[in-house]
Chains A and B, each alone.
Chain A
């Protein structure tokens, strides 16, 4: 991204922070409560949580959070911005076409960050989990967040606002129930495992888990390549959608 692009992204992020300032504390507290609830709640769902399962629960929470930001929050915020005129107003400003999307993702990552930290710390205490945070978690977070947001943004720009709500809700339910984020891939039926080997979700979860624990279930280079490829493709499609003129 160019220097001007970074400057614009930071200004749009500032815009987001200012317009949401009254809700900011509430949003952060809700994310912390969700993380804490998830760690305790999974204890009710799965009575005997082994260290293996605990790793999936604790490290799956941030991945799930990033995917929900990208596939649900970003499209719904974008659809709302299309309805209230903010989208076309910002589109008429001299900003890189994907800068508003990047600012949205960054804002929601900042909102979620305290929740992730609380979740992981609680998991360390509650499940006696051993974390080994690696610097590679940073590119992993960037790639996962941008990939998901690119898909969500593309949906929001191409579909009418009403349809965007439906599509994004469907994507989040599919993620919650049928994606190997909080559980290993081999729990799924064979055909769904094959589907997920071609999709990026498994690799995303693995990259984040590996970055937090130092233990990767699939080849790390392959995971980065797959997620990086999907991210590039998603950004290309989202960029094309954002540049389209009626």
Chain B
């Protein structure tokens, strides 16, 4: 049984919008669990219920076997949280904000100070951490992460932690998220950043329309695609969308970016087709890569949207 278990959680707002419709997830200690889904999928509503800020209409949520729907004060003690919006750090320096939350979460002053310093240094914020000036979006978000990680709960909920963060710091951030799980926390990671999340999550659930569409470890989910590889082509600016040969299944066309699924047996034919299209001035460049979580995500969410 996981550290965080949500079973058949259903939540309908007064407006009539059903934000969660029988959502079940199970996150073990030491695991990073990705909650992936488009805007309005019901991810943040689920988070609010886990944190005891909202109450489900039906279903149960337990943390370490304690019913936190009935005892929301336990959820607040055992969960640390980075909100989707920037953490409220106005007027504070990053270090002050992180240390204050660490103390409020019950940390000892000296340990909190040391841990805050480590986190801020790891994210390369040491030089700016003591300035109580308005923060950029990325810096406020990194500070929000440190506020959640300074005295981590048994469950750490991170809602879009990488938004607005530059690539180098994002890399450090993923490492710190991984470390939280390695230290024993159950990390619930809500994100749109499917490509980067793939490097960090142990298991994931894809949600849309308030329901869990698919859940599991990345490998079986990718296997469900039926094609282990993807051919990604960037079309020439004025080129029309080309017709694909047999064995290539179009997975999407966004602007000039064409993605197709490729079977292992069709690799040679796919590369040959792409080379020809390049010589004919249709394709500017192409790459053959293993299928990713993004493909899984796109296939489920697109299917749901079409349903």
Contacts and interface: CB of A to CB of B under 8 A. Distances in A.
B104 A94 contact: yes
A15 B99 CA distance: 10
A21 B53 contact: no
Contacts of B73: 94
B232 interface: no
B27 to A, nearest CB: 18
Interface residues of B, number: 29
Given A92-B76, A92-B81, A245-B54, A18 B92 contact: yes
A18 B96 contact: yes
A85 B86 CA distance: 8
B113 to A, nearest CB: 14
A245 B100 contact: no
Interface in B266-297: none
Interface string A85-115: 1101111111100000000000000000000
Given A14-B100, A18-B96, A93-B104, A86 B88 contact: yes
Interface in A57-93: 81, 84-86, 88-93
Interface string A209-245: 0000000000000000000000000000000000001
Nearest to A91: B53
Interface string B74-99: 00110101010111101110001000
A8 to B, nearest CB: 6
Interface residues of A, number: 25
Contacts of B77: 94
B51 interface: yes
A interface SS class: helix
A111 to B, nearest CB: 15
A22 B91 contact: yes
Given A88-B83, A94-B73, A21 B91 contact: yes
B83 A85 contact: yes
A6 interface: no
A246 interface: yes
A81 B88 CA distance: 9
A128 interface: no
A92 B79 contact: yes
Given A15-B100, A92-B51, A94-B105, A245 B76 contact: no
Contact of B87 (A8, A89, A246): A89
A14 B104 CA distance: 11
A12 interface: yes
B57 to A, nearest CB: 11
A33 interface: no
Which of A11, A94, A245 has the most chain B CB atoms inside 10 A of its CB? Answer: A94
Interface string B107-130: 000000000000000000000000
B35 interface: no
A18 B96 CA distance: 8
A48 interface: no
A95 B55 contact: no
Interface string B229-272: 00000000000000000000000000000000000000000000
Contacts of A15: 92, 100
Contact of A88 (B53, B100, B106): B53
Given A14-B100, A84-B88, A94-B104, A89 B83 contact: yes
B262 to A, nearest CB: 45
A187 interface: no
A246 B54 contact: yes
A93 B91 contact: no
A92 B85 CA distance: 14
A92 B159 CA distance: 13
A245 B53 contact: yes
A19 B96 CA distance: 10
B101 interface: yes
Nearest to A246: B54
A20 interface: yes
B100 to A, nearest CB: 5
B72 interface: yes
A63 B81 CA distance: 40
29 contacts: A4-B106, A11-B100, A11-B104, A12-B104, A14-B100, A15-B100, A18-B100, A19-B91, A19-B92, A21-B91, A81-B88, A85-B87, A85-B88, A89-B87, A89-B88, A90-B88, A92-B76, A92-B83, A93-B101, A93-B105, A94-B73, A94-B76, A94-B77, A94-B104, A94-B106, A95-B76, A245-B54, A246-B13, A246-B53
Interface of A: 4, 8, 11-12, 14-15, 18-22, 81, 84-86, 88-95, 245-246
Given A19-B92, A92-B53, A94-B77, 7 more contacts: A8-B104, A81-B88, A92-B51, A94-B106, A95-B104, A245-B52, A245-B53
